[in-house]
Amino acid sequence: MAKKQKIRTKFRKNRGVRTRRTDWTQQFDQHGFEEENPRQHERISGKGELSRKRTVCGTRLDNSGEPGLDVHLYVNESICRQGRVLSVQGLISTVRDDDGQIYQCATRRLLKTLATDQRHVVATGDRVFFRSVENTEPAEGIIERVEPRHGSICRTSRGRRQIIVTNVDQLLIISSAAEPRLKPQLIDRLLMMAEKGGVHPIVCINKIDQVEPATLQPLVGVYSQMGYDVLLLSAKTGFGVERFRGVLRGKESVVAGQSGVGKSSLLNAIDPQLELRVRSVSTDTSKGRHTTSTAQLLPLGCGGYVVDTPGIRQFALWDVISDEVAGFYRDLRPYVSDCRYPNCTHTHEDDCAVKNAVADGRLDERRYESYCHLWAGEKDS
């Protein structure tokens, strides 16, 4: 890393806690006001316990839009190991070192309390430096530093950024042709997050054995014309599984989609040694049941890694404003510059090239409706 420096950086609000007096009435009852002008004994200054800034050793980073800390903390690399985070559950991260050994790691307090917009400072897929704890069974450690990230998939959770996975090459968006029903709006949102995160997206439609494949051609055609790869699959019959395996081979991938679409079933089909748990779709609601509880980074027998994620029922976009939405829609982009007004929203204006393209059949009407929902701020699918 670069030369160690001393830099000032922000910490979370709860880094220093000020004790507030709550016994004013009791004090008055016992002693009254002994002084007409009581001495002020509590003072807030820019330094000390109440300050939200600290001096740390490290270097300042420019993440260029990637989620992560803006400080690269200094650690003694001679006593630390490098590893990859396989999963995060609560306060414990499962880390696999370069030798293949598994550690259950806590996170260094300094790292946890640095100011960030993330819900958790460590995410599945992170490359980390950690310090092992001797004579523990199972092996334990402490994460000292998170390395800079690339290729991240994020969403909004409780008003903060939730990083589902990071350091991946491609996103496989898994949908089902039936049970649960296909949700193109969720596909559109995941495509937007892939575009924003710099991850190559691939649309996969599973369970095609339950429908007539010809009924899927309009949807497949829309995404294919935009340049997206589309795979038709059936984990039950094995249709398309070999092609699915070829897409994953040697790559670092993440699979995402609704509960019950068959993400774990498809991964079991290409690598039976994974032995991932699967459950059938609920007969009462025709919706999937949550089986995978946390994102897991899994090494594949054919080479590479894949992250199996929990089922998504709602996907709230992170850090996407209305004016940016059209830029993430590949099919809308060619028409944007032809609109009469430079600040056209493509929703109500006259002489709008996007609306004219929809009217002429050059743009898919459903995709345009999806754009309008997102532009209006309906970030939940």
Q: How far is CA 378 from the centre of its chain?
A: 19
Pairing of strands 170-176, 200-206: parallel
pLDDT tens figures, 325-342: 999 999 999 999 999 999
Q: What mean pLDDT do residues 12-29 have?
A: 66
pLDDT of residue 317: 82
- Residue whose pair of structure tokens reads 């589902």 in the numeric block: 164
Residues recorded for the chain: 381
Burial grade of 139 (CB within 10 A; 0-12, 13-18, 19 or more): middle
Assess whether pLDDT exceeds 70 at residue 219.
Answer: yes
Assess whether pLDDT exceeds 50 at residue 284.
Answer: no
What are the residue ranges spanned by the domains of the chain?
57-146, 153-308, 322-375
Q: What is the DSSP letter of 201?
A: E
Least confident of 51-65, 112-126, 136-150, 354-368: 51-65
Please check whether the domain covering 322-375 is classified as CATH 1.10.40.50.
Answer: yes
Closest CA to 276 of 288, 267, 289, 286: 267
Q: What mean pLDDT do residues 154-161 have?
A: 83
Yes or no: say if 146 and 121 are a contact pair by the CB < 8 Å rule.
Answer: yes
173 or 60, which is more confident: 173
Model pTM? 0.81
How far, in Å, CA of 53 to CA of 73, rounded?
15
pLDDT tens figures, 251-283: 999 999 988 899 999 999 999 888 888 765 544
Q: What mean pLDDT do residues 178-198 have?
A: 90
pLDDT of residue 51: 55
pLDDT of residue 147: 92
Q: Would the CATH topology of 57-146 be identical to that of 322-375?
A: no
The arrangement of secondary structure in 57-146, i.e. its CATH architecture, is Beta Barrel (2.40)
Residue 54 has, within 13 A of its CA and on its CB side, a CA count of 17
Q: What mean pLDDT do residues 47-58 have?
A: 67
Q: What is the DSSP letter of 249?
A: T
* H and E: helices and strands count for the chain: 10, 16
User: Does residue 143 sit in helix, strand or coil?
Assistant: strand
**190: which 2 tokens?**
């995941």
pLDDT of residue 359: 96
Least confident of 78-82, 131-135, 292-296, 363-367: 292-296
Yes or no: say if 79 and 133 are a contact pair by the CB < 8 Å rule.
Answer: no
47 or 251, which is more confident: 251
Yes or no: say if 89 and 294 are a contact pair by the CB < 8 Å rule.
Answer: yes
Q: Which CATH superfamily is domain 153-308 in?
A: P-loop containing nucleotide triphosphate hydrolases (3.40.50.300)
Q: What mean pLDDT do residues 136-163 have?
A: 89
Helix runs in 170-236, H state only: 184-197, 217-225
Return left, alpha or beta for 370; rule: phi > 0 is left, psi -120 to 50 is alpha, else beta.
alpha
Mean pLDDT of the chain: 85
